[in-house]
């Protein structure tokens, strides 16, 4: 009974802290703009292919395969974690053993995956600490980012060690019959043989494993590993249009329709319709909730930046930095927006204070970043919206673009020629002499 009480207290604290954190994070979604979704069947297929199947991660064959194994292993081990919660609350022992053969398959898979994940994590830590992989660095990658990754990987490693320890000492407990099948832990138990205080070590690893799960769950929302929770929903809610497709701005569409129907310009606006605050994106209250979800799901893996042609040629643009800046800015301004509404102003903005115009105009909208992202983040969509603000609100486009805009306005074409002179180039050509 004491164990159950202690477990209940631990669970309630964990759920309370986690609920408070998630409520705060998701309250920021209310400060963003709508983003339409639909075609649920197609989205489910995409989720199964990209998120569950991990297909895009295999573009880096070795590391991608290890990452996929870690992900699939977590899915299996999650079943064991649910069982531990049931056992902790009701004082049972291996509550899901009623599943029979299915339980044997689950426990055997979890035991094998625990070893695989532990070894994979050691590889990941070695790469991060000693190999200095280029895509793990950049102006946006502060020391805290590297510490964050190493801490999370260490916790995952300890989770796997505690799970193997739990299974091993479970097999050493003086039971007449042990339920489940644990191929890796059985070898470890045979090597250990007779051990004193078996019950103590079993309970030690049981508590170590479950408390690490509780700790990890509450650390994740404050780290880059928040993608453990957010990546699957982000893939499910991906943009379904082809890469490179740019949405029309409803505000612009409305203005064009008003131009085509002058009478509508003098009509009273529909009840409840708000006046457009600004065109494009200046700050986080102008982004869509999907842009914000992208920022929460970002793994900071750097695959986007590593394939960016602008970045490779020495320009300031880093697609990863753009997404990380959105998350950081919302974290900074979000509390004020929730408290005071969208009129809240802290004299800072996403543009200029976080992202410079030079970065934005370096983007070629080639969509290599979006193609490479393993969780289907669409970087160009937010970049284009930020550029739209610069052009339509501040007239801050590069000189070449401003000249083009002026020519279109004056001449109906990008070139600096009068429409009447448009065919002068063809005068004197032999093709004009039909005789």
Model confidence over 5-24: pLDDT tens digits?
Answer: 999 999 999 999 999 999 99
Residue 56: name the closest of 378, 374, 377, 302 by CA.
Answer: 374
pLDDT higher than threshold 90 for residue 410 = no
pLDDT higher than threshold 70 for residue 239 = yes
Model confidence over 355-399: pLDDT tens digits?
Answer: 999 999 999 999 999 999 999 999 999 999 999 999 989 888 888
For residue 267, the model assigns a pLDDT of 62
Question: What is the CATH number assigned to the segment(s) 250-411?
Answer: 1.10.1060
For residue 277, the model assigns a pLDDT of 67
Over range 198-214, report the average pLDDT. Answer: 95
Residue 374: name the closest of 431, 299, 271, 322 by CA.
Answer: 299
Is the pLDDT higher at 234 or at 258? 234
Q: pLDDT confidence of 348, banded at 50, 70, 90?
A: very high
User: Exposed, middle or buried: residue 325 (CB in 10 Å: 0-12, 13-18, 19+)?
Assistant: buried
Is the pLDDT higher at 323 or at 197? 323
Q: pLDDT confidence of 71, banded at 50, 70, 90?
A: very high
Over range 333-345, report the average pLDDT. Answer: 92
Domain-wise residue ranges, the chain: 2-236, 250-411
Model confidence over 262-292: pLDDT tens digits?
Answer: 676 566 665 555 555 688 999 999 999 999 9
Over range 171-193, report the average pLDDT. Answer: 89
For residue 145, the model assigns a pLDDT of 85
Model confidence over 118-147: pLDDT tens digits?
Answer: 999 999 999 999 998 889 988 899 888 888
Q: What percent of the chain has pLDDT over 90?
A: 69
pLDDT higher than threshold 70 for residue 98 = yes
pLDDT higher than threshold 70 for residue 430 = yes
Q: pLDDT confidence of 46, banded at 50, 70, 90?
A: very high
For residue 219, the model assigns a pLDDT of 93
For residue 175, the model assigns a pLDDT of 75
């Amino acid at each position: 009974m004491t164990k159950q009480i202690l477990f209940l207290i631990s669970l309630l604290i964990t759920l309370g802290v986690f609920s408070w954190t998630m409520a705060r994070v998701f309250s920021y979604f209310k400060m963003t703009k709508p983003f339409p979704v639909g075609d649920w069947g197609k989205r489910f297929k995409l989720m199964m292919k990209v998120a569950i199947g991990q297909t895009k991660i295999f573009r880096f064959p070795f590391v991608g395969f290890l990452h996929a194994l870690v992900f699939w292993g977590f899915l299996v081990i999650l079943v064991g974690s649910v069982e531990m919660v049931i056992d902790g609350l009701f004082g049972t022992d291996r509550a899901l053993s009623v599943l029979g053969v299915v339980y044997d398959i689950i426990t055997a898979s979890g035991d094998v995956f625990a070893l695989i994940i532990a070894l994979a994590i050691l590889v990941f830590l070695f790469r991060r600490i000693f190999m200095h992989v280029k895509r793990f660095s950049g102006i946006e990658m502060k020391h805290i980012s590297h510490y964050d990754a190493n801490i999370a990987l260490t916790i995952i490693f300890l989770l796997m060690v505690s799970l193997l320890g739990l299974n091993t000492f479970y097999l050493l407990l003086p039971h007449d019959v042990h339920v489940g099948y644990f191929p890796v832990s059985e070898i470890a138990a045979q090597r250990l043989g007779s051990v004193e205080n078996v019950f103590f070590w079993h309970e030690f690893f049981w508590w170590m494993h479950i408390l690490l799960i509780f700790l990890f769950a509450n650390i994740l929302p404050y780290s880059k590993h928040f993608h453990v929770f957010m990546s699957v929903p982000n893939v499910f809610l991906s943009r379904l249009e082809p890469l490179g497709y740019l949405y029309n701005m409803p505000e612009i569409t409305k203005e064009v329709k008003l131009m085509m129907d002058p009478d509508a310009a003098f009509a009273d606006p529909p009840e409840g319709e708000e006046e457009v605050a600004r065109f494009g994106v200046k700050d986080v209250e102008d982004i869509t909730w999907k842009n914000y979800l992208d920022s929460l799901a970002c793994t900071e893996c750097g695959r986007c930046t590593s394939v960016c042609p602008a970045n490779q040629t020495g320009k300031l643009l880093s697609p990863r930095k753009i997404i990380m800046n959105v998350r950081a800015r919302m974290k900074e301004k979000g509390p004020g927006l929730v408290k005071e509404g969208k009129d809240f102003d802290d004299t800072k903005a996403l543009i200029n204070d976080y992202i410079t115009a030079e970065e934005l105009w370096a983007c070629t909208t080639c969509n290599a970043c979006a193609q490479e992202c393993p969780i289907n983040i669409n970087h160009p969509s937010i970049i284009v919206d930020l550029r739209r603000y610069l052009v339509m609100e501040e007239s801050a486009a590069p000189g070449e673009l401003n000249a083009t805009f002026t020519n279109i306005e004056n001449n109906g074409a990008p070139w600096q020629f009068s429409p009447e002179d448009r065919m002068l180039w063809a005068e004197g050509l032999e093709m004009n002499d039909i005789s």
